[in-house]
Amino acid sequence: MEDSAPRRSRAAFAGLVGVSQVLGLASVVLTGVWMGHFRGGFAWNGSKQEFNIHPLCMVLGLVFLQGDAILVYRVFHKEPKKNVKLLHGIIHLLALIMSIVGFVAVFDYHRAAKIPDMYSLHSWCGMTTLILFCLQWVMGLMFFLFPVASAWLRASYLPVHVFCGLALLVMSVGTSLLGITETLLFNIMPTYSKFTPEGVLANVLGILLVCFGLVLGHLMTREEYRRPPNPEEEALSVHFKTLTDGGSPTTP
């Protein structure tokens, strides 16, 4: 009977992970419907249809995939850490590729339509987020997958990496919301205040993204959902520089 509290906690965790996936997938689908149905679909030809690839890639890459990459440590808490770490890096790589495609799409569209770049708050936040995301990915690779840093350095960097990961997810959600508002005001400003289907759909998308961020934030900060530390695994794991360095990093 004494393990009923952890079991309840695992059930709550599983339920919330399910909710997060529904929210994340619904956000991607809604972005697709918005761009596909209301904004004229997708194409890679310098037209507005090329712009439409941008929101879809960003929501899929920088929000959904980034969120799931963060989540794997807590979802696969019984898998060997080395495998989970690899999965974390691979999903982040997919997120990075998707984001770069999204960035190229919008810059290419701007070039063709002779629209200036990087003047809006959305673009400032988006560019900052992508640059920091790249930096975070490279730093993560160097510190945790390749044996570059000492155990002490890895242990010191880990809380920074974890905080920056969550901060980048929040910044991605916030930047997406700015993008939604920009797109609506550029395209349907005269009818937005009349609660047109496109405006309501885009607002709902924004709320879903906020909820996705909140659920992920809760799952990632709640102490009882944390992957339990396993000193034996830490000592045996091949991803550490040496076995005698001491001061093994804690687990995200």
Q: Does 22 bind a copy of itself (CB under 8 A)?
A: no
- Rounded CA-CA distance 129/11 in Å is 33
CA distances, 12 to each of 62, 161, 166, 215 (Å): 26, 26, 21, 12
Among 11, 207, 236, 243, binds a copy of itself (CB under 8 A): 207
Q: Does 185 bind a copy of itself (CB under 8 A)?
A: yes
241: how many CB neighbours lie within 10 A of its CB?
Answer: 14
Q: Does 122 bind a copy of itself (CB under 8 A)?
A: yes
Cβ distance to a copy of itself smaller for residue 26 or 210: 210
Among 18, 45, 124, 134, binds a copy of itself (CB under 8 A): 124
**Subset of residues 155 to 184 that bind a copy of itself, contact rule: CB under 8 A:** 159, 163, 167, 170-171, 173-174, 177-178, 180-182, 184
**CB of 195: closest distance to a copy of itself in angstroms?**
6
Cβ distance to a copy of itself smaller for residue 52 or 175: 175
Cβ distance to a copy of itself smaller for residue 2 or 223: 223
Binding footprint of a copy of itself, residue count (CB under 8 A): 41
Which are the contacts of 241, defined by CB distance < 8 A and separation ≥ 6? 147, 148, 149, 150, 151
Q: Does 197 bind a copy of itself (CB under 8 A)?
A: no
Among 42, 76, 107, 192, binds a copy of itself (CB under 8 A): 192
Q: Using CA atoms in the order 184, 189, 191, 195, what is the torsion angle rounded to 10 degrees?
A: 50
Question: What is the residue type of 180?
Answer: I
| Footprint of a copy of itself (CB under 8 A) | 115-116, 119-122, 124-125, 128, 159, 163, 167, 170-171, 173-174, 177-178, 180-182, 184-186, 189, 192-195, 199, 202-203, 206-207, 210, 214, 217-218, 221-223
